[in-house]
Amino acid sequence: MTTFSLNRRAALLGTAGALSSFAIGGKLAAQGAPITFGVLPPLTGAGGPYGPAMLRAVQGVVEEANAAGGIRGRQIRVVAEDDQTNPDAAVRGARKLIDVDRASCIIGTWASASTTAVAPLCWENRVSLFTVSGADSITLLPHQGYIFRTQPNSRLQISTACDYLMSKGARRVFHLAAQSPFAASSQEVMVEKFRAGGGAVSGYIVYERDKTAFRSEVDQIMRSRSDTVMLNGYLPDVTILLRELFRAGFEGRRFTFAYAANATTFQSLPNEVTNGLITFQPSPDLDSGAFNRLKNRFGNVEVDPYSAQTNDHATLAILAAAQAGEATGTAIRDNVRKISQGDGEKVDNVTDGLRLIAAGRAVNYEGASGPVSFDERGDIQGTKFRYEVAENGRFRLLELV
């Protein structure tokens, strides 16, 4: 009996020894293997105009990091899949990135529905997800910390806009919203804000965005005697609304998101219609070192806010993995806040960040999209907002807050 048990012990020991030597061998081999980052931007479909630049921003950061020696000697490989701006295709793309390429993080989901569809796959497979989607519901998912969002959620955007409008004397605001995930939550925030500030939301209509005429909506705005109208829609419908408001002789303040009125608006509407229109957007930090580097890398063309954000996603993931000393999704999740906020030395690029981390110093990455600090739910804090006014066919900066 004793001999048997001794034998068993010996066998166990032997097995354990063999297993651990395997494990060590595995680890040694893994040290040289490249780390994979998955990118899942919309390259076709409704998000098609944004995806390619978002991807280019990620590639730029990764090239720079690889030139600087990679993550503790390991190179980084970028694998991109197209989410086709469709949740179903996004899920299949994410499956491929996670199961075939073994990506440790997924960067750059754009449409809120795609992000929400992909999110459960990410947290179940312990992959960090960096997104630019704005719907409030995303960070409310039970994501165990795996989601990082650099786009201010719609609640924050609207409440900032309300503060601005009230500071400019708006008291009766009409809310005209396209059918979208943020219409209802925007309305809630606006009612709350204006009631507290002594004003009122004088009317609220949700419209179907594919309509080509908004006569009845505009009539209701006129009847409400509002001093401001919030056009919470998209480019095509807001363009029509601006024209119809002008025709109806609306003289109040017109306020909209920057994505709903841009240079194309000036091409389709005469200046007298657009003059005085105020737009706002969460702004990339235009004066920051990170933003200017990105702009240079893009060849001094205009950089959209989404590319600024994916630039930061890639940098955060690389620095977090370097900080952790390993590149699993969980390691990235646990270390993003260590290198993005706190008292560490401020850095605005991945090369400096990697160098300082290798030297054992604490870093605080300040990105192209802003100071990139996250709250406990994964939402971004302290983004700047930019207000512009339309004047004779171009936008003039009013304020950067």
Partner 1 sequence: MDAYLVAMLVFAGFYALMALGLNVIWGLTGMVNLGLVGFFGVGAYASALLTSKLAWPMPLGWAAGATIAALAGGIMALIVARLRGDYLAIVTLGFAEVIRLVASNEVWLTNGTDGISGIPGPWRGAVTPQQFNLIFLGIVWTAVAIAFYLLSRASHSPFGRVLRAIREDEDVAAVAGKPVLWFKVRAFVTGAAVLGMAGALYAHYNAFIAPEGFAPLLTIYIVLALTAGGVGSMRGAIIGAIFLITLIEGTRFLAAAVPGVTPVQKAALREGAIALTLILLLRFRPQGLIPERTRTKA
| Interaction between residue 34 and partner 1 (CB under 8 A) | no
- Looking at 129, 135, 314, 354, which residue binds partner 1 (CB under 8 A)? 135
**Considering Cα of 127, then 133, then 138, then 139, what sign does the dihedral take?**
positive
**Per the structure block, which two tokens stand in for 251?**
């003289």
Q: Is 300 exposed, middle or buried (0-12, 13-18, 19+ CB in 10 A)?
A: exposed
- Between 44 and 224, name the residue whose CB sits nearer to partner 1: 44
- Checking DSSP bridges between strand 35-39 and strand 76-80, what pairing results, if any? parallel
| Interaction between residue 99 and partner 1 (CB under 8 A) | yes
- Between 84 and 131, name the residue whose CB sits nearer to partner 1: 84
**Per the structure block, which two tokens stand in for 298?**
């893009």
- Looking at 68, 141, 240, 258, which residue binds partner 1 (CB under 8 A)? 141
| Interaction between residue 113 and partner 1 (CB under 8 A) | yes
| Interaction between residue 289 and partner 1 (CB under 8 A) | no
| Interaction between residue 92 and partner 1 (CB under 8 A) | yes
Find the binding residues for partner 1 in span 200-229 (CB under 8 A). 206, 208
The C-alpha atoms of residue 318 and residue 34 are separated, in whole angstroms, by 12
- Between 184 and 248, name the residue whose CB sits nearer to partner 1: 184
| Interaction between residue 188 and partner 1 (CB under 8 A) | no
Region of 50-58, 274-282, 296-304, 357-365 interacting with partner 1 (CB under 8 A) = 50-58
CA distances from 76 to 34, 331, 333 (A): 5, 16, 17
| Interaction between residue 43 and partner 1 (CB under 8 A) | yes
- Between 210 and 219, name the residue whose CB sits nearer to partner 1: 210
- Between 43 and 269, name the residue whose CB sits nearer to partner 1: 43
Q: How many residues does the chain have?
A: 401
Binding-site size, partner 1 (CB under 8 A) = 40
- Between 134 and 305, name the residue whose CB sits nearer to partner 1: 134
- Between 1 and 301, name the residue whose CB sits nearer to partner 1: 301
| Closest distance to partner 1 from the beta carbon of 43 (Å) | 4
Burial 40-66 (b: 16+ CB within 10 A, else e): bbbbebebeebbebbbbbbbbbbebbb
Which residues, 6 or more positions from 86, have their beta carbon under 8 angstroms from its beta carbon?
45, 114
| Closest distance to partner 1 from the beta carbon of 68 (Å) | 23
Question: Which amino acid, one-letter code, is at 184?
Answer: A
Residues 83, 116 contacting (CB under 8 angstroms): no
Helices (H), 68-212: 87-95, 112-124, 154-167, 183-196
- Looking at 137, 224, 275, 292, which residue binds partner 1 (CB under 8 A)? 137
Phi-psi region of 349 (alpha: psi -120 to 50; beta: other; left: phi over 0): beta
The C-alpha atoms of residue 189 and residue 171 are separated, in whole angstroms, by 15
- Looking at 51, 152, 344, 367, which residue binds partner 1 (CB under 8 A)? 51
Find the binding residues for partner 1 in span 52-91 (CB under 8 A). 52, 55, 80-82, 84, 86-88, 91
- Between 120 and 393, name the residue whose CB sits nearer to partner 1: 120
How many other C-beta atoms lie within 10 A of the C-beta of residue 228? 21
- Between 141 and 389, name the residue whose CB sits nearer to partner 1: 141
State the Cα torsion 111-112-115-117 to the nearest 10°.
-110
Give the interface with partner 1 as residue ranges (CB under 8 A). 39, 43-44, 51-52, 55, 80-82, 84, 86-88, 91-92, 95-96, 98-100, 111-113, 116-117, 119-121, 124-125, 135, 137, 141-142, 179-181, 184, 206, 208
